[in-house]
Amino acid sequence: MDKDLNDKWQKLNQYLKGYDKVAIAFSGGVDSSFLLKAAAFAIGKENVIAITADSAFVPSKELDEAKATAIDIGVEHIILGMDVLAIKEIRNNPRDRCYICKKNVFTQIIHTANNEGISAIFDGSNLDDEGDFRPGKKALQELHVQSPLKECELSKKDIRELSKELGLPTWEKPSMACLASRIPYEDIITKEKLVMIEKAEETISDLGFTQFRVRYHDGIARIELIPEEIPRMFDIKVMKQVHDDLKSFGFTFVTMDLSGYKMGNLN
């Protein structure tokens, strides 16, 4: 580990040691898994709880992986069942949907943590998130949720390197975002659309593709792949399987975005 990375690790450790007990909003992704492991290391796993929101926006595979990671780290894991689609302001999918959703989800996470006697609530935002369009940041600020990774100036690259050092399997996990981010703003979100997207992305993942998205456009699937994986999709057998599977899930047409994958492509 180089000196700069070690300095950031030590800074994070000192930050976390300033708290007796903490609750971490835990998705099971790269950032929150690392933060959970770091907190357990710094103040003891008995003083850390992970809280995961389980909703229609979260793929079942992601929830299963979050459960497995929490068990591996050895911390208490609370799963909150949430019906986000029952909230009209979220279901209607305005441009500030992420803000509205985050406000609702984190209000419940805070309430749950407070019931456990914990007032320090952390999320896994990192330094790189500052440059992205993230309406949900406002909700975190309003609710006084802290972001230790960002405050200790850890980038996604730093987090992946440190995760590898700590033996976390999530160190090379692809970046993930909620399923609602696949649907254009103002297009009403339904359970049916989310299920179609989840199944489509499972198909592509099972074929060995790593970083990708399946966007939903009025029944059309628009597949985004990272540039180096685009040629694989043009294999006749792969194309046929993707086409047939996605059509069976309810998509009317299956297309590929020739410009490739880009985080936040619908922003």
- Residue 267 belongs to a domain: no
Output the pLDDT for position 129: 83
Amino acid of residue 246:
L
Phi, psi angle pair for 255, to nearest 5°: -130, 170
- Please report where in the chains the tokens 């389980």 appear, as a residue: 54
- Residue 263 belongs to a domain: no
Q: What is the DSSP string of 51-88?
A: EEEE-TTS-HHHHHHHHHHHHHHT-EEEEEE--GGGSH
Strand order in the sheet with 22-25: 76-81, 48-54, 22-25, 121-122
Same domain, residue pair 20 and 137: yes
Distance between CA 201 and CA 222 in Å, rounded?
11
Phi, psi angle pair for 81, to nearest 5°: -75, 125
- Residue 82 belongs to a domain: yes
Output the pLDDT for position 262: 78
- Residue 189 belongs to a domain: yes
Same domain, residue pair 31 and 78: yes
Domain limits for position 246: 179-256
Q: Residue 133: pLDDT band by 50, 70, 90 thresholds?
A: low
Which domain-ending residue is among 172, 204, 222?
172
- Residue 265 belongs to a domain: no
Q: Which residue has the higher pLDDT, 135 or 45?
A: 45
Which domain-ending residue is among 120, 146, 172?
172
Domain count, the chain: 2
Q: Residue 55: pLDDT band by 50, 70, 90 thresholds?
A: very high
What mean pLDDT is predicted for residues 1-27? 95
Distance between CA 262 and CA 59 in Å, rounded?
20
Average pLDDT, the chain: 95
Structure tokens at 135: 């309406």
Per-residue model confidence as pLDDT tens digits over 164-189: 999 999 999 998 889 999 999 999 99
SS3 of residue 1 by DSSP:
coil
Output the pLDDT for position 1: 73
- Residue 185 belongs to a domain: yes
What mean pLDDT is predicted for residues 141-157? 96
